């Protein structure tokens, strides 16, 4: 019943239904049921007209209309009704819909009116009030706490007000008799002290009091988050059981030589823990699908490289894909030194790689001589073909789309099903169909089923025809595959040619032939069927047609299965724990939560523009010690709309305070030509310049251990994530590093929170949690991931505790009952089975 189109609900009709579909996405009774209120108004209080105060608040009054009059105004007329109770009068005002109001509202009849009041010229008025007959108001399901539903301007203009939506919702509950299928197990309801589904839905729409509303909200939030987590965890479990991985049995020469002889520093305990988790994944029979989170400078790259060495030790290739050319080049240069020590072939492939070098890379990948490839989206091109890609590392993967990641997945090695595997599958299917189709399968066992004179003649004709064909010796005549005897079989191509009959003796025989073909195709054989009438027709056209079919199938590459490479996703952008549980809940997650030894925490301070001379004095002191300095601006050119320091102005100011020849300054921004930008960056990297003036183009991809000071101008202009990434450009050496946040005195509340957070902590995960609260999940994850976070009632920021409980319970239930086959989990299983039918989670959890 809940899948009934909304058009059929009493009080809706085709016009309103069309509007509800377009404006609110309500197609069925189910969709309407899950249109949850945004907020609630207290409708327990009734005011008298003489109690009204001039404060523009929502009030509810009982009284009656005593007259109407139209009043002229600059554009058109307004309709004014005089409304009276036993203490006085006020005006009700309508600017549209006059005809309908006059014909439908009755004078001298008791009404309950509701809306905001205005006070002007010593008189109270209420524009476009909600009006309901007192008799209907007292008889309705309407609760003391009036729900306010989501709406749009178009719905309001077309007369679908909040009261109309409330009436439609009441009608839905009356038609369904308030009976809804329970979607959670009795044990889950009891352990979490949740109210029933029916009670929750009733009290979310018609709460009698605040306590019942709270219980309804908790139950529905828990349910929404529980089923999201159940999907994600099951997806992970299914992935591990269904998606077979390449076996990495060996930790060999490459890995051990690097670890024992060339490791540049001792690994942290966190890095060792993560490597152990990765080795367990690679040693299992399933494909690794792991997310590696690590703060700026935590040492993710070396963990990724050591994972690549494991791939090489098992005779597989490895690749690393980064979102930008700068970052890809940085990775390549970092890995190149280590690869030279280990005599490993490695190349860089980006959009600007020259044609001749591309050809060399492509040839090296196909032959297997090129062992490692680092690059950008260029890795995804169809021309990039690996001989045996075993590991793909994706850096900052949230910048890549699903289709792009899928392309990388499909670059894994291909595996042809072996003869033993085909025979094993065939035997299993024969046993299965012998039970489900006993008569047909018994007929296939009958000797001489195909040995009719007509069939024998057709086989002879086809054999003679094939005799003149190149490669005819590949076909074996009358070949036995389990209980099936096929007319012609090619072992190399797993190709079967069957001659079909023009007429069957009965339906059982017809089904037997069809079943034989179905089983053979299901197992993985290529089956081509030739009607015997085509064989006996010796016309050139018939054999030409037959030859075309045979040529296509005979030259077809045997069916192969792609074995996906192991996937390691890395991100230096800390993901809040609640988001990680939602967006990446189907991945295994590793976290590097320690900095390498010798690294000192960056000291972060907030300074105002008036402190600039002190800041410049500090810069001179650091440069005198041999250090280098970044100064970052949010804008390239001056903006009239925003009062922020711009890059060019800042550069001129700094050049005056730090003149040559004592000081050299680099300048880098996004509008420079790549060659010019690279030249300036290299000057800074080599230490030829002491100060780099830049925009956020240096947020990623610059690694200068000697740089010890990061100054961020107009820091209030940046988001927390950007501030944290920029701060991560310093603190890469053994010396103490500093981050100075420069601002004006005019700061918003959010800006103050961001600056306080940056000066309080260096922990990227703490910062990410604050950022999530300030910006919300949609802004942080971007549109690509928005589907998972498009929640109806839960809020992963405010409801983080419920999310953790829901995930824990989903894990517990699947640990005890992985297939959800136990009787008490029947409701959960039934609900989960409906998931594939609908996109919207609330379409299957109601």
- Mean pLDDT of the 597-615 span: 89
Give the least confident one: 134-138, 788-792, 806-810. Answer: 788-792
Is 453 part of any domain? Answer: yes
Quick check: 583 pLDDT over 70? no
Is 203 part of any domain? Answer: no
Q: For 131, what's the count of Cα atoms within 13 Å in the CB-facing half-sphere?
A: 21
Beta bridge partners, 742, equal 607
For residues 515 and 639, state if they share a domain.
no
- What is the pLDDT, as a whole number, of residue 249? 85
For residues 121 and 93, state if they share a domain.
yes
* Position with higher pLDDT, 177 vs 212: 212
Give the least confident one: 247-261, 353-367, 550-564. Answer: 550-564
Residue after which a domain boundary falls, among 176, 197, 229: 176
Is 497 part of any domain? Answer: yes
Residue 528 and residue 516 in contact, taking contact as beta carbons nearer than 8 Å:
no
Is 800 part of any domain? Answer: no
* Cα–Cα separations (whole angstroms), residue 388 to 279, 285, 346, 367, 411: 19, 17, 15, 9, 8
- What is the pLDDT, as a whole number, of residue 420? 66
Residue 259 CB neighbour total at 10 angstroms: 14
Burial-class residue 664 by CB neighbours within 10 Å (0-12, 13-18, 19+): middle
The residues, any chain, with a CB within 8 Å of residue 287's CB and separated by 6 or more, are 239, 240, 243, 244, 245, 246, 564, 565, 566, 567
For residues 390 and 424, state if they share a domain.
no
* Position with higher pLDDT, 142 vs 113: 113
- What is the pLDDT, as a whole number, of residue 780? 44
For residues 460 and 404, state if they share a domain.
no
- What is the pLDDT, as a whole number, of residue 221? 94
Of residues 588, 591, 584, the one with CA closest to residue 789: 584
Element (H, E) at 722: helix 720-727
pLDDT band at 685 (very low <50, low <70, confident <90, very high): confident
* Cα–Cα separations (whole angstroms), residue 12 to 15, 21, 794, 814: 8, 12, 28, 42
Q: What is the CA radius of gyration of the chain?
A: 36
- What is the pLDDT, as a whole number, of residue 564? 85
d(Cα 533, Cα 92) in Å, to the nearest integer?
Answer: 87
Written as six digits, the tokens of 144 are 């003391």
For residues 33 and 149, state if they share a domain.
yes
Is 241 part of any domain? Answer: no
Which pLDDT tens digit goes with each residue over 718-747? 988 889 988 988 888 778 999 999 999 989
Quick check: 839 pLDDT over 70? no
Range with the largest mean pLDDT of 139-148, 593-602, 799-808: 799-808
* Torsion (CA) 811, 813, 816, 817 in degrees, nearest 10: -110
Which pLDDT tens digit goes with each residue over 436-484? 778 877 777 765 555 677 888 888 887 777 766 644 556 777 787 877 8
- Mean pLDDT of the 232-255 span: 82
Our measurement of the distance from residue 327's CA atom to the centroid of its chain's CA atoms, rounded to an integer in Å, reads 23
Written as six digits, the tokens of 699 are 């947020």
CATH of the domain at 169: 2.40.50.140
pLDDT band at 547 (very low <50, low <70, confident <90, very high): low
- What is the pLDDT, as a whole number, of residue 639? 57
SS3 760: helix
Quick check: 68 pLDDT over 60? yes
Domain residue limits at 165:
6-176
Range with the largest mean pLDDT of 233-242, 675-684, 703-712: 703-712
d(Cα 757, Cα 718) in Å, to the nearest integer?
Answer: 13
d(Cα 322, Cα 334) in Å, to the nearest integer?
Answer: 13
Burial-class residue 363 by CB neighbours within 10 Å (0-12, 13-18, 19+): exposed
Average pLDDT, the chain: 83
Report percent pLDDT > 90 for the chain: 34
Q: Following DSSP, what letter does each residue of 644-710 receive, concatenated?
A: --BHHHHHHHHHHHS-TTT--EEEE-TTS-HHHHHHHHHHHHTTS-SEEEE-GGGSSS---TTEEEE
For residues 365 and 423, state if they share a domain.
no
Is 802 part of any domain? Answer: no
Beta bridge partners, 591, equal 293
Give the strand pairing for 123-127 and 118-120: antiparallel
For residues 131 and 14, state if they share a domain.
yes
For residues 426 and 391, state if they share a domain.
no
The residues, any chain, with a CB within 8 Å of residue 451's CB and separated by 6 or more, are none
The residues, any chain, with a CB within 8 Å of residue 730's CB and separated by 6 or more, are 602, 630, 707, 708, 709, 710, 737, 738, 739
Residue 763 CB neighbour total at 10 angstroms: 15
Residue after which a domain boundary falls, among 152, 176, 200: 176
Report percent pLDDT > 70 for the chain: 86
d(Cα 696, Cα 705) in Å, to the nearest integer?
Answer: 18
Sequence-distant contacts of 447-453: CB under 8 A, at least 24 apart: 449/509, 449/512, 450/485, 450/487, 452/501
For residues 264 and 365, state if they share a domain.
yes
pLDDT band at 525 (very low <50, low <70, confident <90, very high): confident
Written as six digits, the tokens of 155 are 């719905």
CATH of the domain at 740: 3.40.50.300
- What is the pLDDT, as a whole number, of residue 163? 83
Give the strand pairing for 495-500 and 526-531: parallel
- What is the pLDDT, as a whole number, of residue 846? 38
For residues 608 and 757, state if they share a domain.
yes
d(Cα 564, Cα 542) in Å, to the nearest integer?
Answer: 43
Our measurement of the distance from residue 302's CA atom to the centroid of its chain's CA atoms, rounded to an integer in Å, reads 27
The residues, any chain, with a CB within 8 Å of residue 224's CB and separated by 6 or more, are 791, 792, 793, 794, 841, 842, 845
- What is the pLDDT, as a whole number, of residue 412? 74
d(Cα 593, Cα 497) in Å, to the nearest integer?
Answer: 61
Written as six digits, the tokens of 283 are 């040693």
CATH of the domain at 424: 3.40.960.10
For residues 394 and 451, state if they share a domain.
no
Beta bridge partners, 529, equal 498
Is 785 part of any domain? Answer: no
Of residues 485, 479, 487, the one with CA closest to residue 445: 485
For residues 350 and 433, state if they share a domain.
no
Q: Following DSSP, what letter does each residue of 365-429 receive, concatenated?
A: HHHT---EEEESGGGGSTT---SSEEEEEEETGGGS-HHHHHHHHTTSPEEEPPHHHHHHHHHHH
- What is the pLDDT, as a whole number, of residue 673? 81
Is 806 part of any domain? Answer: no
Q: Report angle CA 73, 74, 76 to the nearest 5 degrees.
A: 65
Quick check: 333 pLDDT over 70? yes
| Largest pairwise CA distance in the chain | 110
The residues, any chain, with a CB within 8 Å of residue 579's CB and separated by 6 or more, are 768, 772, 777, 780, 781, 789, 796
* Bond prior to 825 in cis (omega within 30° of 0): no
Residue after which a domain boundary falls, among 176, 199, 226: 176
As for how many domains the chain has, the answer is 4
pTM: 0.62
Which pLDDT tens digit goes with each residue over 74-97? 888 889 999 999 999 999 999 888
Residue 690 CB neighbour total at 10 angstroms: 23
DSSP 8-state assignment for residue 842: H
Tell the residue number behind the tokens 């020849």, with chain if given: 661
How many helical (H) and strand (E) elements, i.e. helices and strands, does the chain have? Answer: 32, 28
Which pLDDT tens digit goes with each residue over 489-508? 877 677 788 888 777 777 77
d(Cα 638, Cα 636) in Å, to the nearest integer?
Answer: 7
């Amino acid at each position: 019943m809940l899948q009934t189109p909304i058009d059929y609900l009493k009080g809706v009709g085709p016009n309103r239904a069309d509007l509800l579909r377009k404006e609110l996405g309500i197609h069925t009774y189910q969709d309407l049921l899950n249109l949850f209120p945004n907020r609630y108004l207290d409708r327990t209080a009734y005011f008298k007209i003489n109690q009204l105060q001039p404060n523009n608040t929502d009030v509810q009054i009982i009284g009656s209309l005593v007259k109407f009059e139209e009043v002229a105004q600059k554009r058109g007329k307004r309709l004014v009704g005089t409304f009276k109770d036993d203490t006085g009068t006020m005006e009700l005002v309508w600017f549209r819909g006059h005809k309908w109001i006059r014909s439908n509202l009755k004078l001298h009849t008791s009404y309950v009116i509701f809306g905001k009041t205005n006070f002007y010229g010593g008189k109270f008025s209420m524009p476009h009030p909600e009006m309901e007959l007192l008799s209907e108001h007292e008889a309705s399901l309407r609760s003391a706490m009036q729900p306010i539903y989501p709406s749009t301007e178009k719905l309001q203009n077309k007369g679908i007000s909040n009261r109309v939506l409330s009436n439609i919702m009441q009608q839905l509950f009356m038609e369904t008799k308030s009976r809804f299928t329970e979607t959670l197990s009795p044990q889950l309801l009891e352990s979490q002290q949740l109210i029933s589904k029916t009670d929750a839905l009733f009290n979310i729409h018609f709460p009698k009091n605040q306590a019942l509303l709270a219980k309804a909200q908790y139950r529905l939030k828990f349910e929404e988050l529980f089923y999201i987590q159940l999907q994600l965890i099951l997806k992970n479990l299914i992935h591990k059981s269904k998606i077979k991985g390449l076996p990495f049995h060996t930790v060999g020469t490459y890995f051990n030589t690097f670890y024992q002889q060339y490791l540049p520093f001792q690994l942290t305990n966190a890095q060792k823990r993560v490597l152990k988790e990765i080795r367990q994944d690679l040693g299992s029979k399933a494909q690794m699908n792991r997310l590696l989170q690590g703060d700026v400078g935590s040492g993710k790259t070396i963990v990724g490289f050591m994972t690549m060495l494991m791939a090489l030790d098992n005779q597989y290739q490895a690749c690393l894909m980064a979102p930008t050319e700068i970052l890809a080049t940085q990775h390549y240069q970092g890995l190149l030194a280590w690869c030279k020590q280990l005599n490993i072939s490695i190349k860089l492939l980006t959009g600007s790689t020259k044609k001749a070098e591309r050809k060399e890379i492509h040839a090296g990948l196909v032959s297997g001589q090129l062992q490692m490839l680092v690059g950008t989206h260029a890795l995804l091109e169809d021309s990039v073909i690996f001989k045996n890609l075993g590991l793909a590392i994706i850096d900052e993967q949230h910048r890549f789309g699903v289709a792009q990641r899928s392309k990388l997945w499909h670059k894994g090695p291909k595996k042809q099903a072996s003869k033993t595997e085909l025979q094993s599958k065939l035997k299993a299917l024969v046993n299965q169909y012998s039970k489900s189709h006993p008569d047909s399968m018994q007929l296939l066992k009958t000797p001489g089923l195909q040995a009719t004179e007509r069939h024998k003649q057709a086989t002879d004709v086809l054999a003679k025809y094939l005799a003149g064909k190149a490669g005819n010796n590949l076909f074996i005549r009358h070949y036995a595959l389990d209980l099936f005897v096929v007319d012609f079989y090619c072992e190399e191509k797993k190709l079967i040619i069957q001659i079909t009959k023009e007429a069957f003796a009965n339906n059982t025989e017809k089904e037997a032939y069809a079943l034989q073909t179905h089983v053979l195709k299901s197992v993985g054989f290529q089956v081509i069927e030739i009607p015997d009438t085509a064989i006996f027709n010796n016309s050139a056209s018939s054999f030409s047609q037959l030859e075309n079919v045979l040529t296509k199938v005979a030259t077809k590459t045997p069916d192969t299965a792609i074995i996906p490479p192991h996937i390691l996703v890395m991100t230096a952008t800390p993901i809040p724990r609640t988001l990680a549980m939602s967006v990446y809940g189907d991945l295994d997650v590793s976290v590097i939560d320690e900095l390498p030894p010798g690294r000192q925490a960056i000291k972060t301070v907030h300074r105002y523009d008036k402190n600039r001379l002190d800041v410049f004095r500090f810069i001179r002191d650091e440069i005198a010690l041999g250090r280098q300095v970044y100064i970052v601006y949010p804008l390239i050119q001056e903006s009239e709309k925003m009062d922020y320091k711009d890059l060019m102005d800042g550069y001129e100011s700094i050049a005056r305070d730090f003149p040559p020849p004592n000081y050299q300054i680099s300048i880098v921004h996004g509008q420079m030509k790549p060659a010019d930008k690279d030249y300036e960056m290299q000057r800074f990297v080599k230490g030829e310049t002491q100060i780099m003036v830049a925009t956020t183009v240096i947020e990623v991809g610059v690694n200068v251990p000697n740089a010890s000071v990061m100054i961020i101008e107009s820091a209030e202009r940046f988001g927390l994530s950007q501030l944290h990434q920029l701060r991560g450009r310093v603190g890469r050496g053994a010396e103490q590093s500093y981050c100075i946040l420069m601002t004006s005195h005019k700061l918003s509340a959010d800006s103050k929170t961001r600056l306080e957070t940056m000066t309080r902590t260096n922990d990227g995960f703490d910062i990410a949690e604050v950022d999530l609260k300030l910006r919300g999940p949609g802004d942080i994850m971007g549109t690509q991931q928005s589907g998972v976070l498009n929640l109806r009632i839960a809020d992963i920021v405010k409801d983080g505790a419920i999310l953790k409980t829901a995930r824990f319970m989903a894990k517990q239930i699947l640990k005890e009952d992985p297939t959800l086959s136990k009787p008490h989990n029947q409701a959960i299983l039934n609900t989960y089975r409906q998931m594939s039918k609908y996109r919207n989670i609330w379409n299957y959890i109601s």
